[in-house]
Every structure is written in C-alpha cells, then in structure tokens.
Copies of this chain bind each other. A is one copy, B any other.
Amino acid sequence: MKDITIPGGKDAEKARKLMRAFSPLSGTELKDEYPVTRSEEVQYAVEQAIAIFPVFSTMSGAQRADFLEAIGDEILALGDDLIQRAMAETGLPESRLIGERGRTIGQLGQFAAQIRDGSWVEAILDPADPDRKPFPKPDLRQMLLPMGPVAIFGAGNFPLAFSTAGGDTASALASGCPVILKAHEGHLGTNALVSRAIRLAAKRTGMPEHVFQYVVGDGYITGLELVRHPGIKAGGFTGSFSGGKALLEAAGKRPDPIPFFAEMGSTNPVVVLPKAMASRGEVIGQQLVWSFTLNAGQFCTNPGLIIVREGDGFDKMIKAMHDAVLDRQAELMYGKGIRTNYDTRTREMLHQKGVTLIGKGPDGGPLDGQATLARVNAVDFLIQPELQHEVFGPFSLIVVCPDDAALQQVLRSLGGQLTATLMAEEEDMSGREAFLADLVNRCGRLVWNGVPTGVEVSPAMHHGGPWPASSDSRFTSVGTQAIRRWVRPVSYQNLPEALLPPALQSHNPLRIWRRISGEWTRAGM
C-alpha cells in the first residue's frame, strides 16, 4: 500500500527530494528517507479529497464512528514499533509516549461516541405557523454540516495526540471532512506508521480511499500550497506563533478566505495568593516546578509565568522552587532548532532589566533543555512587554508583586492565554473578585489549585484563548467541541420530509437531542 498516490513516472521519482528525520536520542539523522511531496501531488491529493467528499460527508455517524475506532485499534496494533519510533524521533520518554498513545486512542473513541450518538449536529427546529399575520411563518430546520476537505498541521511536541491521528484529524474526520495532513518534519517515521494505521482502518471499515492523505515538505512551502488550494475549506494547526501566523495569513489572503484555527501556545500565568502561599507555599512551588519542567517543558500549557502576591511564606516557597529546579534532571528536547531557540530565549530573558536567576537544573547533553527559573519585580515586568513572550521549554518567570495594586496591573497587562491558574484559598478571593474577572477575560480555561499542563479531553474542555494564544478564541482544538471548527449551520426552509436529512426529519429517526421551540428533546416533533 502506497502512502501517497504519485502521478508522473520513474524519471520523476529519481529527481525527487528526500527528507530524513533527526533523532534527538542518537543526535544523528535516522536512515529512513521520506519523499517530499511535489506541487502537483498536493493538487492531486486535494482533488481526490474533493472527489470523495460527497460520499464521506453523507455517511452515517455510526459508519464514521466505526472508522475512528478502527484507527485506534490499528494504532494499538502497531505495538512497540510505534513507541520506539516516536522515542527515536522526539526523545520523549517511553512512559509519556505510551500515555500519549492512550490519549490519542481515547480521543478517537470520544469522537466516535459523539458521532454515534449524533446530537453534535445541534439540530434546531422551528415549526411553521401558516396562520401567522401579516405573513405565514415558514418551517425552518437547521443543522451543522461539514465544510469540505481540511488541511491539518501536525505538532512537533505531541507526535501522536496532536499529530497524524490527533485531535485535529479525529475531529475533522468525525465531522465528515476528508483530511490532508502536513506531516511534522520532526517525526516523519511516526507519521508514516500512523498514516498506514489510518488507511488500514479506512479500508477495513469501507471508507473511500482518499479520506485521509498526507504530504511531506520542507519548511512552509508545501503547507502554504495546501492552505492556498481552492479545494481546502478549513485548516488546523498547533505549534509556534510564527508558523501559525504565516498559515493564518495565507488562509486570509486567498481569493476566498477560509477559517484557519491556529493554537499558538501561551505563557499560562499562575497567580499565587497569600493565604494559599502561607499555608502550602512549598507544595505549590514544587508542583509548579514539576509542571513547567515536565518533558522539558514542551507543552503549550506550560506555566511560564508565575505571578506571586508577596506575603507570609514567600521566601519558603521560593526556596522550595529553587531546590526543586536544582534537582530537576535535564530532559531531551524534540529537535535541534527547538533546543537552540530555548537557549537563545532563556539568555534573552535573563538579560532583561531586573530579571535575576533563581536557579538552573543540572546541565545535560547538547539536546537537553536545562530547567531554569528566574524572577522579576512587577514594575520591571510591566515596562518590558517582551517578558510576556513564550519561552518554549523548561523555563518559568516569577513576577513578584508587593501588593494587590501591582498584582492587578500585572494581570491587566497580560495578553490572551490558553489557561490561567489561581493558587488560592477561597478566602484569598474575598475583595479580589475583580482578579477572577481579569483572568477569565484573558484565558480559555481557568484552573483552580492545579497545574495547567494535562489538558483533559472532554466535552467541557476549551483549549483556545484570545490572541495570541489562538487565532480565534471561539473555537477549541481539544475536547469534543473541537468538531465545531469544521462545520457550518445550514437552514432548510419548508423542505418536504423525504428530502430532509434524517437528523431534521420530524419523527427524529436518529433519536438525537434537538432544540424545538427553545427546548431540548430527543422526542419527535
């Protein structure tokens, strides 16, 4: 089974550019070679996706659910080969990758359950009123429908859960949109394995052959070709601000702009309030160090900013954090560029006015990210907006606020965030209600006494915050609501029953939840 259908003959094959993945584990390139997708192949892939859209988009939820579950089975059937390959390509520990595989399969299962139930189409029915004056009221019924072929960009830091068969792909396939994935160049072998699993699952469950395709490319060229193709109707990306912004702009500059959801990370501020700090500051400190250094801090929800209201227990908390950072073994980062960037950004931060180092963990190998904790006072933080830029890796900056006024100023200076966290006792909040509102206004998820890393996959999860955390704060890339990115409502006016999709037929053959005259029901109309 070929990974991609290639037009052109053997001569074209000879001239083809090849790519190899780099292994942070060995510090060398892996031997397998992956052909770079040519422009005409990108075109061809999109045309194939367009061709199968009418079939795939009108399959029943149960059929597509079988497909998603089969993808999970096939991924599991790859066994240790997949885990070893992902380890070699990313340097992430085995236990983390086994966990990530579980998350990936779990996500597929949640989307399968969602579309098997079918209520996700948010059917709304407004009955006709032929006697209404001055004009009769028509019968109107609305449901969500898939938009068309979707371009997905695999993330570097999650080779499984945010990549080939990750949440973006799973949600798009669940909605009925064919997917063309741009493989992340950091884990081409992992991508090839998972792509094969998806295609086996497609075959096994009777899906059209081109329901899922992938392209390989160096830099942005292939990705931009994909986003600019008129047949692509939406896009999804998880990664850096610069990458997300470039693709978002390309999507917006098309003759027909398309929705493009980019999740671009954030600094995920954690606010530590006095009573909590006094009673359990050391534990909070240790918890935060664990969170920002875990897997070399390569999470978009990494707590990169810790905003502390000074008070009892402050010194003890800082001491505990200092000790924890010094204890923290360096871990491999997933790529050379990521590691170089981490060093540069850490150095820049430590050179800013008023920023002092609290501690650094032990140095590791040339690809390890060294845990680094720094501090700055509120005034110096406020006058240097560049301190708000994300440092991708095991770095965090403590912003020390002498009083509530300074704390409030710091909170109000913050840009959009995926998450904001309060480390507090309930009594800490009395008189500080405005702080809660300030945080909510800036984030997609508010965490109470926890760490922002560990993004639960569930219907109520929202993973997407105001700019620059994401390109559109109205959408999420994690959780079952992620499906909403790929669908649009369509209204049917006065259509005969026989021509309505089952989800909108009066007797509700699918037994889904529908909103009729403002009330939700699984009954018919």
Residues of A whose CB lies within 8 Å of any CB of B are 54, 58, 99, 114, 117, 119, 124-126, 134-135, 137-138, 140-142, 145, 147-148, 248-249, 252, 256-259, 415-416, 426, 429, 434, 436-437, 440-441, 443-450, 454, 456, 458-462, 466-468, 471-474, 476, 481, 484, 487-496, 498-499, 513, 515, 518-520
**CB distance B513 to A488 under 8 Å?**
no
Please indicate the chain B residues that have their CB under 8 angstroms from the CB of A461 in the complex. Answer: 126, 140, 142, 491
A124 close to B446 (CB less than 8 A): no
Question: How far apart are the CA atoms of A442 and B489 in the complex, in Å?
Answer: 12
A491 touches B446 (CB 8 A): yes
Question: 6 tightest CB-CB pairs across the interface, nearest first?
Answer: A520-B520, A140-B460, A462-B491, A142-B460, A256-B467, A445-B491
Supposing A54-B434, A58-B437, A256-B416 touch, asked if A489 and B462 sit within 8 A by C-beta, the answer is: yes
A99 and B459 form a contact (CB under 8 A): no
Determine how many copies of this chain the complex contains.
Answer: 2
In the bound complex, how far is the Cα of B54 from the Cα of A436, in angstroms?
A: 11
Contacts of A471 in B (CB 8 A): 257
A–B complex contacts, Cβ < 8 Å, 10 sampled: A58-B437, A142-B462, A258-B467, A426-B496, A444-B491, A448-B495, A460-B491, A474-B484, A474-B488, A481-B489
Decide if B519 touches A126 in the complex (CB within 8 Å): no
Q: Is the CB of A487 within 8 A of B474?
A: yes
Q: Looking at the complex, which one of B441, B462, B489, B499 makes contact with A474 (CB distance below 8 Å)?
A: B489
Q: Which residues of B contact A426 (CB under 8 A)?
A: 496, 498-499
Docked Cα-Cα span, A84 to B145, in Å, equals 44
Q: Which residues of B contact A138 (CB under 8 A)?
A: 450, 456
Contact check, B490 vs A456: say whether CB atoms are below 8 A apart.
no
| Given A135-B454, A448-B499, A474-B489, 16 extra CB contacts under 8 A | A58-B437, A124-B460, A126-B456, A137-B456, A138-B456, A142-B459, A148-B441, A248-B257, A256-B416, A258-B467, A426-B496, A436-B499, A443-B490, A450-B493, A456-B493, A513-B520
Of A426, A472, A474, A518, chain B has the most CB atoms within 10 Å of the CB of A474
Contact, CB under 8 Å: B446 / A495? yes
A124-B460, A474-B487, A520-B513 as given contacts; A468 in contact with B256, CB under 8 Å = yes
Partner of A459, one of B148, B474, B515: B515
Closest B residue to A447 by CB, please name it. Answer: B493
Considering the chains assembled together, what is the distance between the CA atoms of A493 and B446 in angstroms?
6
B residues less than 8 Å from A434 (CB atoms)? 54
Question: A476: which B residues are within 8 A, CB to CB?
Answer: 489
Contact present for A459 and B124 (CB under 8 Å): yes
Q: Which residues from B are CB-within-8-Å of A443? A: 490
Q: How far is the CA of A54 from the CA of B436 in the complex (A)?
A: 11
Whether A145 contacts B440 by the Cβ 8 Å rule is yes
Select A449's contact among B99, B147, B429, B494, beta carbons within 8 Å.
Answer: B494
**Set B119, B448, B491: member contacting A496, Cβ < 8 A:** B448
Query: In the complex, A258→B471 CA distance in Å?
Result: 8
Q: How far is the CA of A460 from the CA of B144 in the complex (A)?
A: 11
Looking at the assembled complex, report how far the CB atom of A81 sits from the nearest CB atom of chain B, in whole angstroms.
23
Q: Which residues of B contact A458 (CB under 8 A)?
A: 126, 137, 140
